[in-house]
Amino acid sequence: MTFLRLEALGKRYGSVQALGDVTLAVAAGSRTAIVGPSGSGKSTLLRLVAGFDAPDSGRIVLDGQPLAEGALVVPAHRRAIGMVSQDGALFPHLSVADNVGFGLERRDPGRARRIDDLMNMVELRRELRERRPHELSGGQQQRVALARALARSPRLMLLDEPFSALDTGLRDTMRRAVADVLQRAGVASLLVTHDQSEALSFADQVAVLREGRLAQAGSPQSLYFQPMDSATASFLGEAVVLDATIRDGHADCRLGRLPVHGAITDGPSRIMLRPEQLHLRRGSDASAPRGRVTAVEFAGAHSLVHLSLMRGESGTVETEIRLRLPSLDAPSVGEVLGLAVAGRCHVLGTAAG
Ligand SMILES: Nc1ncnc2c1ncn2[C@@H]1O[C@H](COP(=O)(O)OP(=O)(O)OP(=O)(O)O)[C@@H](O)[C@H]1O
């Protein structure tokens, strides 16, 4: 069931069309991640939903109630929408308990109990109650910010890069913790992030913005394996994009004849494979697709291996591809390796979203 609906949303700042004709549906209790290059309109979208800014066109409907539609604009404090930002924006002079309870009525006899429950929910120990924000770790501060945002039982939670100031390990832990808390509370959320893998692992739905337009929205799996175009494909991870001719459910390309996803019309096209579908083989014959290793970038557990695809006996160098391989098994520069493809390839321009 659609809980939040953005309909043909548009916003202009002077000559810049920050958002244009964006339509997006968010299901009750679900998690949507908004991704896109810098300047693509992610923060603008969040600001319009929060009520910090009004759209020029289109409408926003939350749980059946229009929040913005023509001259009607419900003010931010009447929307029952929570927000957690990158720095947590805690009040430095207030204790943890008072930060968490900031939106609660001071004279409410149930206030202390509610603060305890909220701290419990985000797994903050009781003994942190009287500390000031600067006496907390980054992860603890984000938990306080989340508890404070949950205090007034929001209908929707907006997460504006809440994990970006945390280091990698903590980031993963916090991402899971926040997803968990929101799920248990049954609160739908919109997450803006620059981190594609964070978006893919956090959300049930990922929406890709480009130049203020919605390029594609869908499940993380459908966007990753069946992106609409090569820009979305590369934005969400490493992609191998090749020219191909489609015939009888197969693509003829530089990697041979590969089965394709779905029923695709015959003709010239472009296909995409994710690098993890390609397997390198040592000692393969010259008739098989092969690649020459041109560079190896060591990065700890994995190395980024650059290969030039070759064709036929002459070994004519064709397209460049990059594969992330376990460093223990990484080839050396100059080696010629056979390439086997696992699974089906995706024909670009045929995404269902
Ligand atoms: N208040 C403003 N005045 C003028 N232009 C603005 C304003 N806010 C945003 N813009 C412009 O609107 C466009 C979208 O900006 P927005 O901040 O929404 O992008 P973003 O995707 O969040 O970018 P980033 O990833 O860099 O945070 C940009 O071109 C930006 O320069």
Question: How far apart are the CA of 82 and the centre of ligand 1, in A?
Answer: 21
- How far is residue 58 from each of residues 41, 70, 81, 255, measured CA to CA in Å? 15, 8, 20, 46
Query: What's the pLDDT score for residue 232?
Result: 92
CA distance 234 to 179: 26
Q: Which CATH number fits the domain that encloses residue 329? A: 2.40.50.140
Q: How far is CA 83 from the centre of its chain?
A: 18
Question: How far apart are the CA of 5 and the centre of ligand 1, in A?
Answer: 22
* Structural domain total, the chain: 2
CA distance 101 to 79: 19
The residue from 225, 251, 279 where one domain ends is 225
- Same-domain pairing of 246 and 211: no
- Same-domain pairing of 242 and 140: no
- Same-domain pairing of 242 and 221: no
42 lines ligand 1 (CB under 6 A): yes
- Same-domain pairing of 204 and 258: no
Per-residue pLDDT tens for 255-274? 889 999 887 888 999 999 99
Atom of ligand 1 nearest to the CA of 47: 18
* Closest by Cα among 299, 311, 314 to 339: 311
The residue from 195, 225, 255 where one domain ends is 225
- Same-domain pairing of 89 and 138: yes
40 lines ligand 1 (CB under 6 A): yes
Range of 170's domain?
A: 2-225
In this structure, is residue 166 part of a structural domain? Answer: yes
Query: What's the pLDDT score for residue 214?
Result: 96
C-beta of residue 85 within 8 angstroms of C-beta of residue 161: yes
Taking the CA of residue 166 as centre, how many other CA atoms within 13 Å lie in the half-sphere pointing to its CB? 25
- Same-domain pairing of 22 and 143: yes
Per-residue pLDDT tens for 280-302? 888 767 677 889 999 999 999 99
- Checking DSSP bridges between strand 240-247 and strand 213-218, what pairing results, if any? unpaired
CA angle 234, 240, 241 (to 5 degrees): 85
Question: How far apart are the CA of 173 and the centre of ligand 1, in A?
Answer: 29
**Residue 339 identity (one-letter amino acid):** L
Query: What's the pLDDT score for residue 57?
Result: 95
Query: What's the pLDDT score for residue 320?
Result: 85
193 lines ligand 1 (CB under 6 A): no
Query: What's the pLDDT score for residue 126?
Result: 87
- Whether the model clears a pTM of 0.95, i.e. scores above it, the answer is no
* Closest by Cα among 260, 240, 237, 239 to 248: 260
Residue minimizing CA distance to atom 31 of ligand 1: 39
Buried b vs exposed e over 178-214: b needs ≥16 C-beta within 10 Å? bbebbeeeebbbbbbbebbebbbebbbbbbbbbebeb
- Same-domain pairing of 328 and 280: yes
In this structure, is residue 57 part of a structural domain? Answer: yes
In this structure, is residue 46 part of a structural domain? Answer: yes
In this structure, is residue 310 part of a structural domain? Answer: yes
In this structure, is residue 99 part of a structural domain? Answer: yes
- Same-domain pairing of 203 and 247: no
Instruction: Return phi, psi of residue 30, to 5°.
Output: -95, 170
20 lines ligand 1 (CB under 6 A): no
Query: What's the pLDDT score for residue 318?
Result: 65
- Same-domain pairing of 27 and 61: yes
Is 203 strand, coil or helix?
coil
In this structure, is residue 191 part of a structural domain? Answer: yes
CA distance 162 to 202: 12
DSSP class of residue 270? E
In this structure, is residue 352 part of a structural domain? Answer: no
Mean pLDDT by runs of 10 across the 353 residues of the chain is: 94 94 95 94 94 95 93 91 82 90 83 86 85 86 86 89 77 83 89 91 94 95 93 90 92 92 88 92 78 94 91 66 89 92 90 54
In this structure, is residue 233 part of a structural domain? Answer: no
Instruction: Return phi, psi of residue 313, to 5°.
Output: -65, -35
Query: What's the pLDDT score for residue 110?
Result: 81
The residue from 203, 225, 247 where one domain ends is 225
- Same-domain pairing of 161 and 292: no
**Residue 333 identity (one-letter amino acid):** V
- How far is residue 340 from each of residues 157, 167, 281, 282, measured CA to CA in Å? 45, 37, 7, 11
16 lines ligand 1 (CB under 6 A): yes
Q: Which residues contact 206 (CB under 8 A, 6 or more apart)?
A: 32, 33, 35, 199, 200, 217, 218, 219, 220, 223, 236
- Same-domain pairing of 103 and 196: yes
52 lines ligand 1 (CB under 6 A): no
Taking the CA of residue 47 as centre, how many other CA atoms within 13 Å lie in the half-sphere pointing to its CB? 14
Query: What's the pLDDT score for residue 351?
Result: 62
Q: Which CATH number fits the domain that encloses residue 17? A: 3.40.50.300
Residue minimizing CA distance to atom 12 of ligand 1: 18
- Same-domain pairing of 57 and 90: yes
